[in-house]
Structure 1
Amino acid sequence: MSDGPAPPADHRIVLSAIPPEARARLSTRRNAPGVARLLAHGGAVGLLGWAIAARVPGWPLLMLPQGVLLAFLFTLEHECTHTTPFRSRRLNEVVGHVTGALGMLPFLWFRHFHLAHHRHTNLPGLDPELDSPKPDALRAWLWHVSGLPLWYGNLALVIRLARGRERPAYLPARARPRAEAEARGLLILYTLVALSLIWTPLPFWIWLLPSVLGQPLLRIYLLAEHGDCPRTANMLENTRTTFTTALVRLIAWNMPYHIEHHAMPAAPFHALPALHGHMRRALRTTAPGYAAFTRAYLARRRP
């Protein structure tokens, strides 16, 4: 005797059950939602930066929220690789380059890295995200979450690209010249910022130190996307949707709906809540929040 219908076999079956007109709406790119969200996110960064620079009372306490907002611009850069936040392709490109520069993650390189991740999600030997193993013990988790390996790794990546020595399989030869030129531009930018510290500490207080302080929260967030998910091609299993607060979804550009994003990468961030409504009964790998995910993740680790 059956307890009910079996869950869908994979994400393609779930998507095929969505009426065609609804799928078309879900994949429609629009400028207005992205511009509004960008103004809110960027405006908050600018306001906090001004308050830190003006040394308002309690200004050191503002560096953590500033850092969190800066770190989570990564989720916008990520969306720009899909050209989904805005209908304007030009706007997607500009915003992708700016957010990549702020996070020391070259946009053109990251686009190819990330699209390879989507093609081969969580498949060993194919998904480039698996080239950096997830932490398997508490000490390794603490080191990972500190964000320090990220800064070293990203700087090394920029230097390799600038020297023409970054040639992974997912970066096609036709894309290398532009990616390498972008890296050289970033090195010039970072050198100028470093030199500017001789006469003004502002970049340190409003960008560099906050970015270091905010990165651990992004590391915890990103571990939940695929950490400990099954190594399978089924997007309902190899990716995790994390149920969280409206504030986290706001600053993360709705990317906690991560199964939904992987199942339908063409859906802009503003369509993901509606896509979740179509898919929620089929989700297999979920977490009831980032604290709950982290507790469960560490419980499965060696001391």
Structure 2
Amino acid sequence: MLTPDDVDPWAKPPKPPLPRKELKALQRRRNAPALRYVVGHLLIAAVTATLIALSWGTWWMLPTMFAHGITLVFLFAPMHECTHGTAFRTRWMNSTFATFCGAVLMRPALYFRYRHAAHHSYTQDPERDPDQVAMPEGLAEYLGEVFGMEFWPKMIGTLYRGVTGRFNEREKTFLPESERSRIIWEARLMVGFYAALAAASVVFSFWIGVLAFWIVPRIIAEPTLRLVRMAEHTGMEEGADPLTNTRTTLSNPVVRFLYWQMPYHAEHHMAPSVPFHNLRALHQALPGKPEEREYVISKGYVRAHRDIVANLGNGAGSTVPTTTALAATAGR
């Protein structure tokens, strides 16, 4: 707990060690890259949906629904980027696509915008970061995180409190009073839409389609997103420095595309105003080779989780060994 005499380490986080002109060029927002990603992401979703239809009534439905679910849960990435206001240059495009993605994910986009702003302002602060990630105390807790044992109740609770307007004390710290009525109506419209869709699907007998193409894939693929998101901060230091509280995970082009370049997560926290399509360029522009940099770079999600699991049982406040141990195997 900070006292009035303390200097808040989160008040002024460090910036990327780049010349101002170079950083400003990377901060330039454009519509075209996001439009390409949107079209590509939705085309992949259309392909996986078609595979569900082609495999209807066979055991192949299970893997195709899982694959389709991955495309759905990874809509979290564009929602995240749009709530930053950096996916598109045009403001209404950001708000419209964020709302669409939020509806698919059952996560109110406006609420997320303010919650996520607090996460960036106070990353890994146990008291002020609403998404602070503590190190799991054991394998059971780790698996619980992977399979969303806390995520699903939290998501349902967020919708309930949004509909009723009964925000908890932590939410009141990051939801501006001036915006709470909009956040309440956002949640009510979302729940109203879901209720209307459920009723219509029963009356007009397309409820199986809703389950097969949306609800079931959305649920069974969530662990893939949990694994990716856990790698960002799990086992990182509870401090204000993005060099030590956030992990970059090098991955393949498919993951980078579906996750809208967010595997470069330390870079994102160093400079949240840099659009997703320039994060790789920011990563490459930083001084020194990756293995020489003073922040954690894991070579793939398997490596990141192997390091996390290897350090389970060290206590909730423990961290995964940083910099030299992990960065030594990193590469571009």
Question: For residue 153 of structure 1, what is the aligned residue in structure 2?
Answer: 154
TM-superposed deviation, 1:187: 0.8
CA displacement, residues 86-138 of structure 1 (integer Å, 9 cap, x when unaligned): 111100001111111111111111100000110111112111112x7453211
For 2:144, give the aligned amino acid: W
Question: For residue 75 of structure 1, what is the aligned residue in structure 2?
Answer: 77
Q: Are the equivalent residues in 2 in contact too, given 1:70–1:211 (CA < 8 A)?
A: yes
- Say whether residues 1:186 and 2:190 are aligned partners: yes
Distance in 2 separating the partners of 1:135 and 1:103: 25
Question: For residue 117 of structure 1, what is the aligned residue in structure 2?
Answer: 119
**What number of residue pairs does the alignment pair up?**
291
CA displacement, residues 159-217 of structure 1 (integer Å, 9 cap, x when unaligned): 11110101521001001000000000111122123334421211110111111121101
* Structure 2 unmatched runs, 5+: 1-11, 315-332
Question: For residue 287 of structure 1, what is the aligned residue in structure 2?
Answer: 298
- Say whether residues 1:243 and 2:250 are aligned partners: yes
- Say whether residues 1:263 and 2:270 are aligned partners: yes
CA displacement, residues 24-52 of structure 1 (integer Å, 9 cap, x when unaligned): 22001000000000100012112222332
CA displacement, residues 43-75 of structure 1 (integer Å, 9 cap, x when unaligned): 211222233235467343211111111111111
Q: Find the residue that maps to 2:150 and give its secondary structure.
A: helix
For 1:192, give the aligned amino acid: A
Q: Are the equivalent residues in 2 in contact too, given 1:11–1:236 (CA < 8 A)?
A: no
TM-score for both structures, normalised by structure 2: 0.83
TM-superposed deviation, 1:282: 3.1
Distance in 1 separating the partners of 2:82 and 2:151: 21
Aligned counterpart in structure 2 of residue 297 of structure 1, from 305, 308, 318: 308
- Say whether residues 1:210 and 2:230 are aligned partners: no
* Structure 1 unmatched runs, 5+: 1-9
Distance in 2 separating the partners of 1:149 and 1:197: 29
Distance in 1 separating the partners of 2:239 and 2:293: 16
Question: Which 10-residue stretch deviates more, 211-220 or 43-52?
Answer: 43-52
Distance in 2 separating the partners of 1:276 and 1:11: 18
For 2:42, give the aligned amino acid: G
Question: For residue 136 of structure 2, what is the aligned residue in structure 1?
Answer: 135
Q: Are the equivalent residues in 2 in contact too, given 1:241–1:258 (CA < 8 A)?
A: yes
For 1:231, give the aligned amino acid: E
Q: Are the equivalent residues in 2 in contact too, given 1:147–1:219 (CA < 8 A)?
A: yes
Matches within 5 A, 1:92-111: 92-111=94-113
Q: Are the equivalent residues in 1 in contact too, given 2:73–2:222 (CA < 8 A)?
A: yes
**Aligned residues: CA RMSD:** 2.0
Distance 1:98 1:13, change over 3 A: closer
Aligned counterpart in structure 1 of residue 234 of structure 2, from 227, 240, 243: 227
Distance in 1 separating the partners of 2:13 and 2:188: 40
Distance in 2 separating the partners of 1:77 and 1:20: 28
Q: Find the residue that maps to 2:125 and give its secondary structure.
A: coil
Matches within 5 A, 1:33-72: 33-55=33-55, 58-72=60-74
